[in-house]
Amino acid sequence: MEKENATPNPRRDFLKKSSLITAVALTPTAAIKAADNQLDERIAQAIENVPCSIEINGTKHTMKIDPRITLLDLLRERLHLTGTKKGCDYGQCGACTVHVDGQRVNSCLTLAVMNDGKKVTTIEGLANGSELHPMQAAFIKHDGFQCGYCTPGQIMSAVACIREGHADNEGEIREFMSGNICRCGAYPNIVAAIQEVKKGGKNI
C-alpha cells in the first residue's frame, strides 16, 4: 500500500476519461480537481495507515494498515496467506478460523488492528515443516473433506476443540464443531478424524 501511494495514481486518467466518455458528467470538474491535487488521497493516507504488529506463524509482521481491514483480508490479500478462507465474511461459516493467542477465532470478525501485539496461527503454520500436524494427517486418512474450502477452518477449529476439552464423544464434537460448515457434507468423516486424534492422546 505504501508503495502504491508513492507512485502516481493511474486512476486519475481513467476518471477524467470516463467523465468525458459519458455524456452525463458523473464526475464533476471540482471533484476531478480535488483528485488531481490528491487531497482525498492525502487525507485518506493519514487515517488509513495505522501501525500494527502481529506475529503470524512465528514471523513478526510490522505494518501500516487500513483500520477497516479484517484479520482475514490482511492474511489473504496483503500477506497472501490464502489458506485461511473467506466463506461468508459474517462469522457464520467458520472457514476463516485461525488461532489468536491459542484461541480459535473467526478472522473475518476481528479487525486486523485489534490484533496488534498478538500471535496468530493459520493453517500454513500448523504443520511442523513438511511433517503434517496429526489433525491434518487424520483429515486425509478419514477423508474429512471434499472440495477442501472449509477444510483449513475445520482443522484449526478441530485442534482448538480438543485443546478446549470439548472432544470427549461424538455428540460433543458435533456440538462444538457446529460453527464450521461443510457444504459438501463430510461431517461424519471430520468427526472420525477428530476422534482419532483425540484418542491418540498426543499433546496437540
Residue with Cβ nearer other proteins (73 or 99): 73
Shortest Cβ distance from residue 101 to other proteins (Å)?
Answer: 20
CB contact at 8 A, 193 and 200: no
Shortest Cβ distance from residue 10 to other proteins (Å)?
Answer: 7
Dihedral angle sign, alpha carbons of residues 19, 23, 27, 28: positive
Shortest Cβ distance from residue 113 to other proteins (Å)?
Answer: 12
Which 3 state secondary structure label does DSSP give 203?
Answer: coil
Shortest Cβ distance from residue 155 to other proteins (Å)?
Answer: 6
Residue with Cβ nearer other proteins (162 or 190): 190
CB contact at 8 A, 84 and 72: yes
Residue whose cell numbers read 500436524: 133
Residue 99: in which H helix or E strand, if any?
A: strand 97-100
Burial of residue 198, with CB atoms counted within 10 A of its CB: 0-12 exposed, 13-18 middle, 19 or more buried: buried
Residue with Cβ nearer other proteins (16 or 119): 16
Shortest Cβ distance from residue 62 to other proteins (Å)?
Answer: 19
Shortest Cβ distance from residue 134 to other proteins (Å)?
Answer: 11
Amino acid at 79: L
Residue with Cβ nearer other proteins (127 or 202): 127
Residue with Cβ nearer other proteins (54 or 85): 85
Give the separation between CA 121 and CA 113, rounded to whole angstroms.
16
Residue with Cβ nearer other proteins (52 or 87): 87
Which 3 state secondary structure label does DSSP give 199?
Answer: helix
Burial of residue 109, with CB atoms counted within 10 A of its CB: 0-12 exposed, 13-18 middle, 19 or more buried: middle
